[in-house]
Structure 1
């Protein structure tokens, strides 16, 4: 890295390092964020995305607020909460509540989710990329309701490969008053197939006057994070799926940006211990039965790409109690070859 990138400013919020943890439904809950914090390297954490209309219903019926807001009041700042819906007044109401009651640092709007339940059924997420006037009004109303807390937006390149309209959408986002724009380098049609188009992300920069551009997509190594800053002119990066089983990835990227030696991957034994800490936090929140089921997908992420991962996934996908989970981890979670040889002697 020729020079360390400067901190990223989202309104009055300083994001240093300019590495953001992506909001991911079903994954980036309080437990995951705490595990990431143990390793460091994140300038701005984010919750799972919150359904604004569902939040309002819970609020009006005096029910407990969504599990996706677990820990938000107590944890360290800065912290972003991402929300989604297609009704400006509902979004504004929830944004104001997040600012007034939860004191969040940033309210982020999801205009990028490609999942059919959000797009086709709820006409939200990336569906709204076809409706820039609605996007403008949602952002404008949220900016007004949340001030002075900054509002940001996350988009994809477009809905389909034949309708890439991110340049025009970027202008809409800025004109509506958003404080930053994050772009995932695929269209909604792509979901997560193929490769993120970072050249296309880079082209958006010329269409923004004052707000920072954050790039997202396929950042699965410290080298790729460095390359994003050096080659594509982004002001910040957002790391998503690659961090789910490797929460230390942010710290590795941060070291690389500072020109320092990149910390090696933890040993498999340390990774196993990390996964067990993660499990304990999930169970403490949700109880043994629900927590064990929720942890199955996280456990699969921790094993991904390792020797024996498929065998481990087959067994961990069936666990329903703590004793079963610990037993499967003990017997099947991938181990260091040196540890296996030592045990056999």
Structure 2
């Protein structure tokens, strides 16, 4: 199957003025029309706070929350999942993504998020391709083969969360020979969802190959009322502008590229407004940003756990920088704040 990818030839500083406009998810205005993707293990409160400080994301999202685990913790009077760290008090708008395959469980958790946490959007994950979610839990992208089940889930969650809007995130299908995104999109809309996000790969693709934006765009004529958000391979302001110019989408969602460039949302937002694009922070500023990230994690988890957690975040910051391999080798062993600061001082480029 031919795949159309977003060109990288245009220089960010020479981007034409685009036509991207804010859009609504139910009553919520998403402005700018650029969303921060939920990413398990990464988009916690610390990451969201850093993105918020740079600006540019019209809607931020948590990591995906296991609905069944949330219910178990609730019933056993345990602390709610770490993936809800900061949600109750942080600024809005904010989406929380949940996953499971039981309509009742998802509806129960959605209702709690809408009422107790007062989140802006409840998003249902039908796109995660990892084995633990699909094969072991029969959730995420596994459910793409059962659109009727997806419709039942969405209807129950929409009813439980009202008036908080409910959205869905999907992939193109289970595999390249089983692409059913248009049929699934119509089910999602018919069940009452307020928006649809489509990642331009199939579940079988995982994260390999290139996202097919032609197939994402082909969904739009089949939606009557809800916005379509495209996701996949957006790693520069130029690509974001190209997505809006070339494809029939209302919004875009930036994911993995922002893990080592959390300022990308601000750059993309400036580009879609036709404004000068902010320069990347200097390496010295990026080092200070990484330390700021560590302090946010440390406040929540304490010295030892934060040091271990920071290993993967620090590796993201180093990606593509001079000496990244040597830095990753040393940061992978840190067990204390002192060790972290020493590795940053000695091995992170400036």
- Decide: shared fold, TM above 0.5: yes
Shift of 1:261: 1.1
The match for 1:87 is: 102
1:4 and 1:42 map into 2 onto residues whose CA distance is 17
1:232 and 1:249 map into 2 onto residues whose CA distance is 20
- Residue by residue over 1:80-134, the C-alpha shift from the partner in whole angstroms, topping out at 9 and shown as x without a partner, is 0000000000000000000110000000000000000000000000000001111
The match for 2:139 is: 124
CA contact (8 A) 1:4 1:259 kept: no
Aligned with 1:263 (options 278, 293, 298): 278
The match for 2:34 is: 19
The match for 1:156 is: 171
The match for 1:297 is: 312
Aligned residues: 335
Q: TM-score, normalised by structure 2?
A: 0.95
The match for 1:106 is: 121
Unaligned runs of 5+ in 2: 1-15
Name the SS of the counterpart of 1:49 in structure 2.
strand
1:329 and 1:53 map into 2 onto residues whose CA distance is 39
Shift of 1:207: 1.1
The higher-RCO structure (CA 8 Å, 6+ apart) is: 2
Aligned Cα root-mean-square deviation (Å)? 0.6
2:107 and 2:268 map into 1 onto residues whose CA distance is 35
The match for 2:76 is: 61
The match for 2:130 is: 115
Aligned with 1:42 (options 43, 51, 57): 57
The match for 1:287 is: 302
Shift of 1:334: 1.7
Shift of 1:233: 1.5
Unaligned runs of 5+ in 1: 336-345
The match for 2:4 is: none
The match for 1:241 is: 256
1:2 and 1:265 map into 2 onto residues whose CA distance is 21
1:72 and 1:207 map into 2 onto residues whose CA distance is 34
- Residue by residue over 1:31-66, the C-alpha shift from the partner in whole angstroms, topping out at 9 and shown as x without a partner, is 000001110001000000000000000000010000
1:334 and 1:216 map into 2 onto residues whose CA distance is 31
CA contact (8 A) 2:18 2:244 kept: no
Residue 248 (structure 2) pairs with residue 196 (structure 1): no
The match for 1:232 is: 247
Shift of 1:4: 3.8
Shift of 1:325: 0.5
CA contact (8 A) 1:152 1:181 kept: yes
Shift of 1:136: 0.4
Q: Kindly report which structure 2 residues correspond to 1:200-219, keeping only aligned pairs within 5 A, or say none.
A: 200-219=215-234
Aligned with 1:254 (options 254, 264, 269): 269
Shift of 1:8: 1.4
